[in-house]
């Protein structure tokens, strides 16, 4: 069982051009390392009760590990500013950072001045999170290309989509196709492909973060950061 999982994860973390080819060839996630130390009779119960921890959010919020987190995403995006803006807005809105970065990658490849092709309804998507000119008609044209404004509005809109959709998959469908269309005619195939790309990138990103950042810290350190934030909440 251990060997099979080890090989599967090794394949999943093969080099990928979308993540700068930075994957470790063989990688064992922190949560699995913890479970793999248990006896067979303890494993099922522990696995069922183990919650998925957001190590990115926890390490960003902790003073002593924030710089390592920012540096990881700076290397990924090519921009310290973009990385800090996305991490900050994700923390403010309590959105999983990996999802926020995966969305920005899909929408603009982290380029604040990206402009999409004209849509069927003659609107245009612009900036880091490709804000739609009709949905965000209240902001000035130049504000679409301000990464701080775009990240704030884009991730605030994602938070709205998460509340409306109830989960990440439906939220991404709403972000891409619009709430009325999803509720009315359903999710188009192009949107399903869009969701699949984002979720795939998010999963790889989380694995890479664990391999390159989380692995440098002890389990005790990670638990302290997670529990301290829960206490603050």
* Residue 56 CB partners (closer than 8 Å, separation 6+): 69, 96, 97, 98, 206, 209
Q: Are the C-beta atoms of residues 125 and 103 closer than 8 Å to each other?
A: no
3-state helix, strand, coil in the chain (%, to 5): 70, 0, 30
Angle at 148 between CA 204 and CA 60, to 5 degrees: 45
Where do the structural domains in the chain lie, given as residue ranges?
54-216
pLDDT in tens, 150-205: 999 999 999 999 999 999 999 999 999 999 999 998 899 999 999 999 999 999 99
Which residue reads 């638990």 in tokens?
Answer: 223
pLDDT in tens, 74-125: 999 999 999 999 999 999 999 999 999 999 999 999 999 999 999 988 999 9
* Residue 52 CB partners (closer than 8 Å, separation 6+): 31
pLDDT in tens, 196-207: 999 999 999 999
Q: Where are the beta strands (DSSP E) in 91-148?
A: 125-126, 131-132
Show the tokens assigned to 57. Answer: 């959010």
Q: What is the pTM of this model?
A: 0.77
Assigned architecture for domain 54-216: Orthogonal Bundle (1.10)
């Amino acid at each position: 069982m251990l060997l099979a999982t080890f090989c599967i994860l090794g394949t999943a973390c093969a080099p990928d051009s979308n993540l700068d080819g930075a994957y470790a060839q063989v990688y064992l996630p922190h949560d699995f390392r913890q479970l793999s130390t248990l006896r067979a009779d303890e494993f099922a119960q522990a696995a069922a009760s183990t919650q998925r921890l957001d190590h990115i959010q926890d390490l960003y919020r902790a003073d002593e590990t924030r710089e390592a987190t920012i540096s990881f995403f700076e290397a990924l995006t090519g921009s310290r500013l973009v990385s800090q803006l996305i991490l900050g807005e994700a923390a403010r809105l309590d959105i999983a950072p990996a999802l926020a970065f995966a969305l920005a990658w899909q929408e603009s490849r982290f380029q604040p001045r990206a402009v999409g092709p004209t849509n069927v309804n003659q609107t245009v998507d612009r900036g880091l999170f490709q804000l739609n000119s009709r949905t965000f008609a209240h902001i000035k044209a130049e504000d679409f290309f301000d990464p701080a404004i775009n990240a704030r509005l884009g991730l605030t809109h994602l938070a709205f989509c998460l509340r409306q959709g109830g989960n990440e998959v439906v939220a991404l469908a709403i972000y891409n196709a619009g709430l009325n269309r999803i509720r009315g005619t359903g999710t188009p195939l192009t949107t399903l492909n869009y969701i699949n790309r984002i979720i795939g990138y998010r999963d790889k990103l989380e694995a890479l973060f664990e391999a390159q950042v989380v692995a440098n810290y002890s389990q005790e350190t990670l638990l302290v950061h997670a529990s301290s934030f829960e206490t603050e909440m």
